Structure 1
Amino acid sequence: MLPDGYSDVPAGKLAAVVTCLEMRAPPARRDDPEQPGITLDRMATPDLAWYRDLYSRIGTEWLWASRLAMADADLAAVLNNPDVEVYGVMKAGRAEGLLELDFREEGVCELAFFGLTPATIGGGTGRWLMNRAIARAWSREALQRFWVHTCTLDSPQALNFYIRSGFTPVKRQVEVFDDPRLAGILPETAAPVVPIIRA
């Protein structure tokens, strides 16, 4: 447990406050905005280059790096697992959003990744995608818990969006990790509002 007061974060590291949220039953369905020209396509065996490109276009601004740092074999093992579902939000023939549902724990679904590129932010695409995520998760009869986590490095709108979608905050954690910009995983120009502190 962290003590009350300030705790130093070593140079070269980042710290984020993580909020875990869950739902134990399907929420009331919210409005489903029409999305002409947009489809949600299941990627049964996602190409790793396709996945990493989409992941980067969505997450670089928010310092998403965990999947970029994984070895090809490790990432393929996750994405090709029959209990992991990967979907692309397709617009004009290009993936502009990512939905990843992880059912590997019995009775549980993790909303592992959920995001849109700038080309699809606004216009209700996030709500449209969340409606489909919730429906897909709860389509499994044995599901008891659908959960997600977000952190203070994510979009400032993310936490309230999840709460409005029916998730309830249940736990808070502090995550300390290597700055992916200093590790060469992300460009040093990523997330300019988060300063780099070198060792």
Structure 2
Amino acid sequence: MSITLTTWSLEQTSPADLRPSPAPEDGDLRITRAGFPSAEFSRFLYTAVGGDIHWGDRLSLTHPQWQALMEKPGTETWVAYENGTPAGYVELDAQDDGVVEIVYFGLIPAFRGRGIGGHLLSYGVARAWDLAERWPDRKPTSRVWLHTCSLDGEHAMANYERRGFRLFETKTERTELTETPGPWPGAYA
């Protein structure tokens, strides 16, 4: 199916830009760095979070290609757990000259709308700003950026703006919408 897709690119250029959101008061929410680069765990998070909003750009990757992405120096995955269950994640990618991209961010559908997303995004952005502390060969972060699109959740753009991100580019194009399986074929049928 052909659709018109709008993609917005947003950025922060100073740690002072971040306007954090507190953790939800109910539940037991923990955010932990995935300390072992695992293609399997990353693919699980990617399909569980992005399956219903048509994330598909990584689905054709082989296991070695996916593993190489997870092992790239400066790549980090931060996972939110509610009562021990993965709820969502933030994947960071340190790029050249102190730039960090939030490559993926989102929640598994069952955890959306409960105040977790604002806090997880805040936490991920803070980790992007202090990335050089964990990767000493990297320059200090001077810019954090991400993109979102018209297929993402209805509250995505507002969450990014509330956290202090500013729009710097908008693109609109026709594209083919591909079916994505979610965590398993037919999960979102």
Aligning the two structures, in what range does the TM-score lie when normalised by the shorter sequence? 0.7 to 0.9
Matches within 5 A, 1:103-118: 103-118=94-109
Count of equivalent residues: 178
Conservation of the 8 A alpha-carbon contact between 1:63 and 1:190: no
More helix by share: 2
Alignment partner of 1:121 out of 90, 107, 112? 112
Conservation of the 8 A alpha-carbon contact between 2:10 and 2:166: yes
The two structures have a TM-score, normalised by structure 1, of 0.78
The two structures have a TM-score, normalised by structure 2, of 0.82
Alignment partner of 1:78 out of 66, 69, 72? 69
Q: How many Å separate the matches in 2 of 1:171 and 1:190?
A: 33
Q: Which has the larger radius of gyration?
A: 1
Q: What RMSD, in angstroms, separates the aligned Cα atoms of the two structures?
A: 2.4
The residue identity in structure 1 corresponding to 2:23 is P
Conservation of the 8 A alpha-carbon contact between 2:87 and 2:111: yes
CA-to-partner distance for each residue in 1:174-199, whole Å, 9 max, x for gaps? 35555332xxx53796877xxxxxxx
Q: How many Å separate the matches in 1 of 2:173 and 2:32?
A: 33
Q: How many Å separate the matches in 1 of 2:95 and 2:62?
A: 20
Alignment partner of 1:25 out of 8, 14, 32? 14
Q: Mark the CA change 1:92 to 1:191 in structure 2 (over 3 Å): closer, same or farther.
A: closer
Identity %: 29
CA-to-partner distance for each residue in 1:139-188, whole Å, 9 max, x for gaps? 1462111101011111121112111110110111235555332xxx5379
Matches within 5 A, 1:1-199: 13-26=2-15, 27=17, 29-34=19-24, 36-140=27-131, 142-181=140-179, 186=181
